[in-house]
A and B are shown apart, each in its own frame.
Chain A
């Protein structure tokens, strides 16, 4: 019988992505309810030394395969190795991150393992020994409770939503043979073009300062950049601003852009179209600054300021600098 709550850890060149610790922590919670073990799968090149770190968040066992073919990530190599191990070990639950890598990998595993998955979950619970995964659908216009009837019961977790909680265990490290056949690898990463802005990606940001149509033009974003710098935040944009060419595509938050979950989302000059709310509705705190008191964004905001953002934002930057000085 399928047993164990497993996660697939995510790392790049030997450095864990934060989602790995969020996954282990979420798995620990489920495993304690089920009275089962937490297993983690770690693939990479030269990563054996970091395997034990997952114990800090409650992993009982870390299955490690160290192979040059695992770095950089490709779907072929990772999905083949994980599917082989999971079929042998038969865990009951398998969690991945709903990150760029996790989305690509988890959906391939659904095919390889002939199972079902709840994508981009914001909550998990156990009822009658089964996993119930709660996830936004229709871009957050409603939630679904997903039950997977096959095994493993898969779920991918939205980054930044599940807290990483330390729960130290001495993880047993189990090396396994991924059984890779280089001839089976049909895709190859030719180049990694790093973003040199030094900014955290929107999907991983703790704080986002976002601007919409109310910014009036690309030059309006200067004051948002300054506020973002003071807060260590990343700047986002509404679809209106991206479609107008004021901001690049990668900055778009919303139903046809990025879905974000920061601790703090500051919406400036964003009216709050349903498509935008869909992309940032799971943020922990939402601030709206807009001169239109009837803007729908205020219905979603924890704190609102009805005023001219070009006057409020520079003042806010000053105040933040004072507080953080």
Chain B
């Protein structure tokens, strides 16, 4: 089974995000970069399938030079090879253009299942997996928390509001990973050593035959809206404070 896992390098969830004064984006100084946590679930699932069915796991990432570290992390976890799409025109590009580049790279390699995270925790857009599936002309199953391969198809669990769906899809297919799918492994020391020697192909948009034509842009980045200062409820006893809170929620906030 040939599996592709798409990964994105993103700021660590602990990172404080500072907006540039001119609103042109975020200040990247001092940010610790990590693999998008949802992509980690995809990489882990890819490795589990490889262990079960054999085959190759290819990691594909769009990003600047530093994104290579994230590809190496996935290789250290056990993936076989990487494709690093590095092109300034793709930096901060919209989902359509990122997916076009990924599709161009993936078309050239065998793929039964392609994993993506359900979203990246930087722009939180959650579009690339589906657009990639469209470019490749294959089905998608998104927000997957369980996956079983049965012959030439997969069965997955996808939680929705108030229910879980059991969905069957033909292969090849794009699967977007949701938390709960698995517990990603840590890279072992021998894994890290081996990863250094695994092949990573670096390509730019032109080499992939892709022309970047923006569809959407972040016109402005703003700090989150300020919340008015809150009220600390004082009182002698817990009961008194609770009574005051209930009253405020009822009469001032009007939410109960």
Contact = CB atoms under 8 A, between A and B. Distances in A.
B192 interface: no
Contacts of A143: 221-225
Contacts of B159: 100, 250
23 contacts: A76-B139, A100-B161, A107-B131, A111-B131, A115-B216, A138-B26, A139-B121, A142-B222, A144-B220, A145-B220, A146-B216, A146-B218, A187-B139, A187-B141, A187-B168, A191-B166, A201-B161, A255-B121, A287-B249, A303-B248, A306-B232, A319-B243, A319-B246
A147 B215 CA distance: 9
Given A138-B17, A187-B141, A195-B163, A132 B219 contact: yes
Given A116-B215, A144-B222, A257-B179, 13 more contacts: A75-B139, A107-B128, A117-B127, A119-B126, A145-B219, A186-B138, A255-B121, A256-B121, A274-B13, A285-B249, A285-B253, A304-B230, A319-B247
B255 A207 contact: yes
Contacts of B218: 137, 144-146
B232 A304 contact: yes
B122 A249 contact: no
Given A207-B256, A311-B238, A315-B242, A305 B223 contact: no
B130 interface: yes
B165 interface: yes
B194 interface: no
Nearest to A197: B162
A311 B221 CA distance: 43
Contact of A191 (B165, B179, B241): B165
Report, nearest first, the 9 A-B pairs whose CB atoms are least far apart. Answer: A116-B216, A111-B134, A315-B242, A116-B215, A107-B130, A319-B246, A186-B139, A100-B160, A141-B17
A132 B216 CA distance: 11
Interface of A: 17, 72, 74-76, 99-101, 103-104, 106-108, 110-112, 114-120, 132, 135-150, 186-195, 200-201, 203-204, 207, 231, 249-250, 252, 255-257, 263-264, 274-275, 281, 284-288, 298-308, 311-313, 315-316, 318-320, 322-324
Contact of A264 (B95, B164, B179, B256): B256
A119 B121 contact: no
Interface of B: 11, 13-14, 16-17, 19, 26, 37-38, 94-96, 99, 119, 121-135, 138-143, 145, 155, 158-170, 173, 179-180, 214-225, 227-228, 230-233, 238-239, 241-243, 245-250, 253, 255-256
Interface centre among B11, B127, B218, B220, by most chain A C-beta atoms within 10 angstroms, is B127
B12 to A, nearest CB: 10
Contacts of B167: 74, 187-190
Grouping DSSP codes into helix (H, G, I), strand (E, B) and loop, the A interface class, with mixed when no group exceeds half, is mixed
A137 B164 CA distance: 27
B243 A112 contact: no
A281 B125 CA distance: 18
Contacts of A139: 13, 121, 124
A316 B246 contact: yes
Contacts, number: 270
Nearest to A100: B160
Interface centre among B17, B99, B179, B242, by most chain A C-beta atoms within 10 angstroms, is B242
Contacts of B233: 303-305
Contacts of B225: 143
Contact of B231 (A110, A264, A303): A303
Contacts of A118: 216
Contact of A108 (B133, B145, B160): B133
B224 A136 contact: yes
B160 A101 contact: yes
Contacts of B170: 186-187
Nearest to A293: B232
A142 B28 CA distance: 13
A74 B11 CA distance: 33
Given A146-B218, A306-B232, A316 B224 contact: no
B246 A116 contact: no
Contacts of B127: 106-107, 110, 117, 119
A53 B220 CA distance: 37
B221 A249 contact: no
Nearest to B160: A100
Interface centre among A137, A305, A312, by most chain B C-beta atoms within 10 angstroms, is A137
Nearest to A231: B256
A178 B195 CA distance: 49
Contacts of B248: 303
Contacts of A147: 216-217, 219
Nearest to B94: A116
A200 B164 CA distance: 14
A303 B255 CA distance: 13
A256 B13 contact: yes
B245 A104 contact: no
Nearest to B10: A138
B99 to A, nearest CB: 7
Interface centre among B94, B161, B173, by most chain A C-beta atoms within 10 angstroms, is B161
A298 B232 contact: yes
Contacts of B142: 75, 103-104, 107
A121 to B, nearest CB: 11
